[in-house]
């Protein structure tokens, strides 16, 4: 009788024990497949809201894994569901899937040669931010978690999200549209995890931050209206280009002299200036387009007001008019403190404590933030740099490069975050 009781106890406990474990051999067996998937996505990138073939390839792989899924979410998003055999929470895992209008310069056999149309221009297309690795790592995690389906204590929702880099003007897209379409509510997502490969962080390392991890990103357009004149007689008009130059310099003082940088970092950058058609004509208008990065809501509101005041008054002092349009973009990417603290041991276990570090917030932005506004979220950075390389290649550049030796850690992070959270008895 004593042995029979022990036998039944073992049966009861076995799913709980086994659900926490994916063997090293299982991870090793999937690595080559993850790399193969990554190379396919890298070779055939597609821009935001245009990820038709990318979504089709993801769907095909999920079908091979017998994972139920939907397509056409927020245009070209794919959402898969793995319903575990035991009751428990619903864990969302997210990967972004779009590329960028960048011509690749990296000398690799699977370099992108794709070209497409972007805002009326013929452009090259490249996964210049690592989203190809994100998709492949999530597919790898999906395959392994599916193999443990009967022992999972809850449900896994696989979110392959389009348009993280921003929908084209006049279109909706990305995480914001997925949230608007109700993807989290429909599947009852309790928490969500995400990761971003980093070309500046050595492979097999992990960075994270509690609270605000990445900045809010807002776009501004300043239209300076002057008075057209002949270039030889500037005094007969109002030169909007000169005024625009003064506004650009004035905007730098918003951060350097009017913002409390000891509280949080902030950035204002003008990325585009456009005005005029000929060398000898002072135009009537000049347009400035730029980005605002903030890590605090109060500072965000103040900087918006400071930009409007600075541009308006500088223009007025020269007899011009400045119309300021600030478009709210991505919120701060916020790592839920309670969730993050719960999962620190999982990071240590997965990557090794010496390979995990807490870092300062980054002024880059991520629309994972829209998911994390709705449910507790945790977003970390995964190393993708060759440790032997002297310099890192920048994201969003033609030379962006990721070593594939760090991808397996990303698969392990996704799996272990899911399994450990489920086994916390939430």
Tokens standing for 354? 């010496």
List, in sequence order, every residue forming a beta bridge with 218; answer none if it has no partner: 292
Catalytic residue among 26, 31, 181, 404: 404
- Residue 426 has a pLDDT of 54
Predicted TM-score (pTM) of this structure? 0.89
Q: Where are the domains of the chain?
A: 2-215+333-422, 216-330
Which CATH number does the domain 2-215+333-422 belong to among 3.40.630.40, 3.40.50.1220, 3.30.70.2860, 3.40.630.10? 3.40.630.10
N-to-C CA span, the chain? 34
Q: Tell me, what's the pLDDT at 19?
A: 42
- Both structure tokens of 298: 């109060």
Which class does domain 216-330 fall in? alpha beta
For the beta carbon of residue 388, count every other beta carbon within 10 angstroms: 7
Cβ-count burial of 276 within 10 angstroms (0-12 exposed, 13-18 middle, 19+ buried)? middle
DSSP summary character for residue 392: P
Query: Helix 24-43 crosses helix 52-64 at what angle (to 10 degrees)?
Result: 150
From the candidates 44, 208, 330, 334, which is the catalytic residue? 330
Burial class (CB in 10 A: 0-12, 13-18, 19+), 15: middle
Secondary structure element (H or E) that encloses residue 71, with its range: strand 68-73
Residue 25 Cα distances to 31, 179, 315, angstroms: 10, 37, 66
Phi, psi of 304 (to 5 degrees): -60, -45
Helix runs in 154-296, H state only: 174-180, 183-187, 240-258
Encoding tokens for residue 73?
A: 């979410």
Residue 404 among the catalytic residues: yes
> Hey, what are 408's tokens?
């397996």
Nearest alpha carbon to residue 67 among 89, 83, 56: 83
Task: Say if CB 250 and CB 310 are below 8 A apart.
Answer: yes
Q: What pLDDT sits at residue 298?
A: 93
In angstroms, the Cα distances linking 342 to 19, 348, 355 are 18, 12, 18
Q: Which two tokens stand for residue 93?
A: 């895992």
Identical fold for domains 2-215+333-422 and 216-330, yes or no, is no
* pLDDT averaged over 10-residue windows placed end to end, the chain, 426 residues: 45 45 96 98 98 98 98 98 98 98 98 95 97 98 98 98 95 98 98 98 98 96 98 97 98 96 94 96 98 94 98 98 97 97 98 97 95 98 96 95 98 98 85
């Amino acid at each position: 009788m004593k042995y029979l009781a022990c036998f039944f106890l073992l049966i009861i406990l076995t799913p709980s024990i086994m659900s926490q474990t994916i063997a090293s051999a299982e991870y090793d067996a999937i690595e080559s497949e993850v790399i193969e998937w990554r190379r396919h996505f890298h070779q055939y990138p597609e821009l935001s809201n245009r990820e038709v073939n990318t979504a089709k390839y993801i769907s095909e792989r999920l079908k091979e894994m017998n994972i139920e899924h939907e397509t056409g979410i927020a245009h070209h998003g794919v959402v898969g569901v793995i319903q575990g055999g035991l009751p428990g929470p619903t864990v969302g895992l997210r990967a972004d899937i779009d590329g960028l209008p960048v011509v690749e310069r990296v000398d690799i056999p699977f370099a992108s040669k794709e070209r497409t149309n972007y805002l009326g221009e013929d452009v090259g297309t490249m996964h210049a931010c690592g989203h190809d690795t994100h998709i492949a790592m999530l597919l790898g995690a999906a395959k392994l978690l599916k193999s443990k389906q009967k022992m999972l204590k809850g449900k896994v929702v696989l979110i392959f999200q389009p348009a993280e880099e921003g929908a084209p003007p006049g279109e909706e897209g990305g995480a914001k549209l997925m949230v608007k379409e109700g993807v989290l509510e429909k599947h009852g997502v309790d928490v969500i995890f995400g990761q971003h490969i980093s070309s500046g962080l050595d492979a097999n390392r992990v960075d994270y931050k509690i609270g605000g991890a990445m900045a809010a990103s807002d776009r501004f357009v300043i239209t300076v209206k002057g008075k057209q004149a002949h270039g030889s007689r500037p005094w007969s008009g109002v030169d909007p280009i000169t005024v625009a130059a003064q506004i650009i310099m004035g905007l730098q003082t918003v951060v350097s002299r009017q913002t409390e940088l000891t509280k949080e970092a902030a950035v204002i950058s003008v990325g585009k200036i456009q005005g005029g058609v000929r060398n000898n004509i002072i135009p009537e208008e000049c347009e400035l387009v730029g980005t605002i990065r903030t890590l605090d809501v109060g500072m965000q509101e103040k900087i918006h007001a400071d930009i409007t005041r600075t541009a308006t008054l500088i223009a007025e002092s020269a007899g011009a008019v400045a119309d300021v349009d600030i478009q709210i973009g991505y919120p701060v990417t916020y790592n839920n403190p309670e969730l993050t603290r719960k999962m620190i041991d999982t990071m240590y276990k997965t990557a090794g404590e010496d390979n995990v570090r807490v870092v300062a917030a980054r002024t880059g932005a991520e629309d994972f933030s829209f998911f994390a506004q709705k449910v507790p979220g945790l977003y970390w950075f995964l190393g993708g740099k060759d440790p032997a390389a002297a310099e890192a290649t920048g994201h969003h550049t033609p030379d962006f490069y990721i070593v594939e030796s760090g991808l397996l850690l990303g698969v392990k992070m996704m799996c272990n975050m899911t399994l450990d959270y489920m086994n916390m008895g939430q």
